[in-house]
Structure 1
Amino acid sequence: METETPVDDPALTPSFEDALPPDFGRFLEGAIDLHVHGQPDLAERAQNRGDDAAVARLARAYGIRGWVLKSHLWPTMDRARSVQQSLGDTDFRVIGSITLNPQVGGVDPTIVEWAADHGAGVVFMPTWGARADVDRWGYISMLLERQTPNFRDWAESHAITVARDGELTPAAEDAVRAAISRDMLVATGHLGLEESLAVARLCQQLGRPAMITHPLHFTDDPGELRVFTDLGGILEFSSAPLINPESHHRVRDVAEAIRLLGPEHVVLSSDVFSRWVPPEPESLRSFTEQLHYLGFTADELRTMLVVNPHRLLGLPVPGAA
């Protein structure tokens, strides 16, 4: 008598990779994703994707070499260490970060130094806590308000400004100096245009480029973003705004910006954490495949995915002479 094979037979359970093209990682070998949100991010009940370690293993299968774990609420150094340990003996690197929003103390050099002492590799300037973001009530603020009834009043009263009349506040200048002195990458978060320029200007003076986050929020004319590249800034374009139903940006907007500015001034990242997106490595793969379809070469993609992220983190570039 013929018996049925159990439906939970591992041999019949496909993996995510089974549904992908055989060379699905062709542009991601050696990449570092500088903007990865863990699970949970904004709230434990907001289950956006699977376990951090499981998704990191998936990323490794794509050829990705490392992540920077970011959170809008809490430092990620302990999480990064835990995920790293769970991966065992692997060359995949998980890097922690801190975002200087009000609930962790805001923009303060001592907080930056403490984060460095606990292994943070990246400092993000305020995101939802930035006065510029509060004034426009950005996407993260909208989500936080839905889950935290007192959030709007709290955010309004705690919003952070890091520059006035084009000059960084003393606390912001000291925080950037502290980060650079500890070999940390400084990213602009959700600061306004003039604030971001002030951060980029100081980073240039200190000999390290700033990473300019979400640069298309500043202008509809990507040519105007040359003010950042003139200061040595590296522009981060992520897949998240191209998938978010609240966004008006398309991948062709990003492609136009990269062509004007040059891949040597750009990094690509995922930055996704919503239920409507694939896991981070697949989001990044899809993003890069679309850019390739729009004419970017494998070498140009490698510059934005491998070379520039390693250089921003002060790491040796794989395969470089």
Structure 2
Amino acid sequence: MHVHSAPDIRERAYTDFELMEAGIRVGAKGIVLKSHHGSTVERAFLVNEHNKIINNGMNNDFVMYGSITLNYGVGGLNPIAVETALKMGAKVVWLPTIHASNQIYKNGQVGGIQCVNQEGNVVENLVDILELIKKYNVVLGTGHLSPQEIFVVVKKAREIGVEKIVITHPEFWVVGMSSEEQERIVKEYDVILERCYAQPMGGGVYKSNLADNLEIIKRVGYKNVMVDTDGGQIENPNWEIALEQYMQFLLDNGVEEDKLNYMTKQIPAKLLGRSESI
């Protein structure tokens, strides 16, 4: 549900086509392409056409999915960009990440894209975007917002009727959501916590999240935790290796296989509208 690949502004471990090949090789049913710089819908379409051609029309059940991230590359909180991406098949709308005001602040700068105004309300353009997410029944990812912003946005999204809400790597230090806050948002709004393989600490250094991920599964329950990678960096193992290590860690530490299947297969299948048995 969250992999970065080339083309990108920074170097990535795989191109889109190479990522597709890795997915097919390990028996994955699908991958969501994410870019901090716009929409990946067109890229996903071309990957799926390429898959048909190189496999001579044989159905291998693999689908690449597109998404859109609402940073400055698409004009920030731009309802027109969102609607265009959704009409073309985007399955995830991520709120601002690298250009979120919270990330800009955590980086010691000022500015960035605001999702919540000074009165503590969701800004008007984001309300329009939430309405579009509801209309197309796709996933809302909370991006790199602060915990305080996330609670406000999720509350509004639920009021509007958005069904699929994923808290984007809440363990990431930029987001900085405490275990208590993660437990509370699950109890209050029944959201999915996307817990990822590792997080960047700066200077090309990544910190493993695995032990902390295990603890949050014990704390909130497996039905609200999605095992994910946020992979694609050259500093980390390739996506499929990172996912294998993550899954093996959980199995080795007492997470039963049926629960792991739920976190790695059933949750993403529901989010992506895959009706077949996974």
* Length-normalised TM-score, structure 2: 0.88
Cα shift at 1:314: 2.8
- The runs of 4+ residues in structure 1 deviating greater than 3 Å are 217-221, 242-250
- Report what 2:79 is aligned to: 109
CA distance in 2, matches of 1:204, 1:313: 19
CA distance in 1, matches of 2:254, 2:180: 19
Query: 1 or 2 for the larger relative contact order (CA 8 Å, sep ≥6)?
Result: 1
1:87 maps onto 2:87 in alignment? no
- Report what 2:217 is aligned to: 258
Give the conservation status (yes or no) of the 8 Å contact 1:223–1:260. Answer: no
Give the conservation status (yes or no) of the 8 Å contact 1:49–1:273. Answer: yes
The one-character-per-residue Cα deviations of 1:225-247 (angstroms, maximum 9, x if unpaired) are 12221212110011132898645
* Length-normalised TM-score, structure 1: 0.77
Pairwise CA RMSD of aligned residues? 2.2
- Report what 2:167 is aligned to: 212
CA distance in 2, matches of 1:267, 1:258: 9
The one-character-per-residue Cα deviations of 1:162-189 (angstroms, maximum 9, x if unpaired) are 0134421111111111122112211001
Instruction: Pick which of 249-258 and 169-178 moved more.
Output: 249-258
1:164-313 equivalence runs, <5 A: 164=117, 165-205=119-159, 206-216=161-171, 217=173, 218-219=175-176, 221-229=178-186, 230-241=188-199, 246-248=205-207, 250-313=209-272
Structure 1 gap ranges (5+): 1-33, 139-151
- Report what 1:134 is aligned to: 104
CA distance in 1, matches of 2:201, 2:247: 14
Seen in structure 2, the aligned counterparts of structure 1 residues 236 and 317 have a Cα distance that, compared at 3 Å, is: farther
Give the conservation status (yes or no) of the 8 Å contact 1:123–1:179. Answer: yes
| Structure number with larger C-alpha Rg | 1
Corresponding residue to 2:9 among 37, 42, 54: 42
Seen in structure 2, the aligned counterparts of structure 1 residues 243 and 282 have a Cα distance that, compared at 3 Å, is: farther
State the percentage of identical aligned residues: 28
Give the conservation status (yes or no) of the 8 Å contact 2:155–2:189. Answer: yes
- Report what 1:54 is aligned to: 18
Structure 2 gap ranges (5+): 53-57
Secondary structure at 1:67 match in 2: strand
Letter in 1 for 2:155: R
Letter in 2 for 1:95: Y
- Kindly tell me the number of residue pairs found equivalent between the two proteins: 266
Cα shift at 1:54: 2.4
Give the conservation status (yes or no) of the 8 Å contact 2:198–2:206. Answer: no
